[in-house]
Structure 1
């Protein structure tokens, strides 16, 4: 426990959660204060006093920014040290305070987080292309020390994107592009999907302003009628579930975020009214078994659309997302997507698992090893592999797409070995090629060459050559590739006897 704290006169509006911390830490109570409460209160007071008289471009007091960042981290389930770091993340860069003083006042953990974010903020770039690549590289290197540094940086970027309108247009576009290409994919890979979606929509607003306004108007115009229709369907399904003895915890209408609508329109060359899953319901139940029973009830109530059922419970997405998806024809003769999941799956999908940050408190990912739960440990497998690969990478460009490489030319080959050329279209993101190579590796398939190119529609076009001993494997290989959540189209371009090629 800590002694009570003298709280100065605060002349700015602060959020309720922070006011609660300050009240509990106040010396007027004459009661010992919880150490975590005291840490956050002291961090705010220190930042508040340093930033007095400083304002953002919006004209608002600067202290509002670190408070907002700390609030985002709190909503994510961040620890007191992370919240304190959110309050202090700019002070070393913006004031005369040293990193040593941060440690002296707030401890080594807060010091390391603030120092890591400060280093990221000082990155200088030689060119636009290299800047993006180097940014990714430096971020990943900082993750090796403490993943939470990236979470603090994501919260910082999110609040900056929320207030981006106060910057000149040229700077807005530069920051928005960097956000879409660097920060949103990082949020996705860390499983912080609420931040990922908002970063994408904010970037979309400034990079494609006309398309953004058009889709925003479409969505707003149809919202009232759509909500009424979904409420009617939700009531029908709720009654059916009760009759079947399934406790329905909730049925939620899910608004699709604007950038995902735009991506789908671009990818499928469709108009807004042709997008099938603008209407989406989420059904929350208690158990996995009830999820599958609920699918049968949905299919009995409404005509299912062939090929639209996806089982992400039996085969979760690489980012741990789990849910059952199915498409049905609604009473208004339009496609309707229904997502069915347990409360735990929903909590992870929407808000992430706050408990996971507790396992990151120790800092280095390598120190966590198998001591954490398997599901959490496996979530960061992609990161551990990348950190191992960095030892073999000397140029920042090796972190940036387009990427291509040759995987060697072994002379020792099995009889009747075939080289199959495959072309894949997938959603562009960090790790897209790694995921497919990992899936092939699980089946013992050797990749001979691979090349990734990106398009303006945020697609990754992957040309892949794989070595197989038997052509009967192709169907299973294609099936496994298509199960990857971000992969859209898989097509075979050619099949040759590899022995004939190498002589």
Structure 2
């Protein structure tokens, strides 16, 4: 592809200024030269991947700096270009984006391994600094997943697992639903190829006799809309992806007859009033399934999603979902945080950083940015603990519940009412005596669902116990409970352990081990050391909350300090 073709595609999505297009052209020419003679596993020029990544970003109407970073994103690692050269040629903002995406991918992912945590640590640190890093990384990953079949099976599964665990949830959390759906589906395809093919075949069988009448359905609806002089932008349709069908079928006890949205139509109009007019038209043309109707315009989802959803009988025993929304809703629904970046007008790109100018974001977007900012302070956190907490608190699917006063509280799915209590305030959590959900008493480990109204009962004589750590799911609750237990040094939970480490002696060994112990929040009472030849024998006396924590600490030291020979 030549630049003029790329330029035309870019301008289809956003009106870039002439000076911005000139910088994009320089990035295009620079990358084209640097990637010359470098090829991917499938034999295509590497530069093609960079162009497709930039086009993915263009479809989200991203700013020129992010487009440039898309063209340059693999250049440090795969074309052996130095960061200083990017800095000199394109400035600090583009250099930062390119460097950030490169460093995120330096360590390869393995399930339940230190490297996964280290990669995610980098990802969160950079994303907290500039959200465009996340969007750039997702655009890169999307193209990689689309061409994953050319890699060896083991590498395919490794990348697919990382995509499933991290990047699909991240896209969903950022509100980029189209990317989230495709990343989720592609990861499912490569992780469970046989199941994927089985569901794909089931979808084809169930859509027999429907796809051929789609043009007729669209034409019928269009005629009625035009007749009413409604400003129609488009009518689109999509087939539900196998991964999504599989997840929904699990909720329906694998009864495919209960899945009514294998095919979904999207109708985009100008105004909210027109949305309801179109709803009336649809219900006059097709018989609605009333129990499947949702009004997300009047009652938006907590993440800001808005649309009318109705399920209609379009053929004998064949249903389809219809989504009706305005263009503004559609853009926000599909592009999420990226839509804000696309339309925000700033004097310089600092507006993208550190949460400046958040007027265009939903409350959910702002909460997410604040959560990322909180996770910037993670340099000394143990990787395994960090990984577990990140997946629970940041990437986990959310639920939205209410206080008795009607305030909306966001929690990771699977949280308990005790987590809810600590989310309200640490003192509410510390004096938890019971909970009511929808006016009914529930146990302490009850897991609420979206829409539940939760009332916490407190008693000043109630206090945290060590067992509470086994009940709560969120980092916030665990942090407050541990802090309380340590503060009052409860004898039944704090134990003294003797940790003996034999390792190859070197400068900084004691410091490195002590840093790991500190990262776990464990107190060191006493340290003794001696050397025998080239070996160091270190003995620590530690105060630990429980044996499990002690065992995790030993495993972390052995894993992270290569000089360690034996731990007793």
TM-score range with shorter-chain normalisation?
A: 0.7 to 0.9
Q: Is the 8 A contact 1:282 1:340 kept in 2?
A: yes
Q: Which residue of 2 aligns with 1:436?
A: 400
Cα distance in 2, alignment partners of residues 431 and 500 from structure 1:
33
Partner of 1:78: helix, strand, or coil?
coil
Q: Does 1:17 align with 2:5?
A: yes
Structure 1 or 2, whichever has the larger Rg, is: 2
Q: Is the 8 A contact 1:180 1:203 kept in 2?
A: yes
Q: Does 1:464 align with 2:428?
A: no
Counterpart selection for 1:255 from 229, 232, 239: 239
Q: Which residue of 1 aligns with 2:193?
A: 209
Q: Relative contact order (C-alpha < 8 Å, sep 6+): which is higher? A: 1
Q: CA RMSD in A?
A: 4.0
Q: Which residue of 2 aligns with 1:380?
A: 366
Alignment of 1:171-320 (within 5 A): 171-221=155-205, 223=207, 225-242=209-226, 246-320=230-304
Cα distance in 1, alignment partners of residues 409 and 140 from structure 2:
42
Q: Give the length in aligned residue pairs.
A: 435
Alignment of 1:135-150 (within 5 A): 135-150=119-134
Cα distance in 2, alignment partners of residues 362 and 191 from structure 1:
21
Q: Is the 8 A contact 2:105 2:119 kept in 1?
A: no
Q: Does 1:474 align with 2:460?
A: no
* Post-superposition CA distance 1:116-140 (Å, at most 9, x none): 1122122367862554444333222
Partner of 1:128: helix, strand, or coil?
coil
Q: Which residue of 2 aligns with 1:40?
A: 24
Q: Is the 8 A contact 1:147 1:364 kept in 2?
A: no
Moved more, 245-254 or 192-201: 245-254
Partner of 2:316: helix, strand, or coil?
coil
Cα distance in 1, alignment partners of residues 360 and 72 from structure 2:
33
5+ residue gaps, structure 2? 11-16, 422-432, 443-447, 464-568
Cα distance in 2, alignment partners of residues 303 and 395 from structure 1:
57
Q: Is the 8 A contact 2:237 2:264 kept in 1?
A: yes
* Post-superposition CA distance 1:178-204 (Å, at most 9, x none): 001100111112222222122112111
Q: Does 1:356 align with 2:341?
A: yes
Partner of 2:260: helix, strand, or coil?
coil
Counterpart selection for 1:323 from 293, 300, 307: 307
Distance 1:173 1:124, change over 3 A: closer
Partner of 1:101: helix, strand, or coil?
helix
Q: Is the 8 A contact 2:400 2:409 kept in 1?
A: no
Counterpart selection for 2:382 from 384, 388, 395: 395
Distance 1:14 1:134, change over 3 A: same
Partner of 1:63: helix, strand, or coil?
helix
Distance 1:126 1:300, change over 3 A: closer
| TM-score (structure 2 length as normaliser) | 0.66
Q: Which residue of 1 aligns with 2:541?
A: none
Cα distance in 1, alignment partners of residues 149 and 57 from structure 2:
23
Alignment of 1:127-138 (within 5 A): 128-138=112-122
Q: Is the 8 A contact 1:113 1:149 kept in 2?
A: yes
Q: Is the 8 A contact 1:190 1:319 kept in 2?
A: no
Distance 1:483 1:295, change over 3 A: farther
Aligned-residue offset at 1:276: 1.6
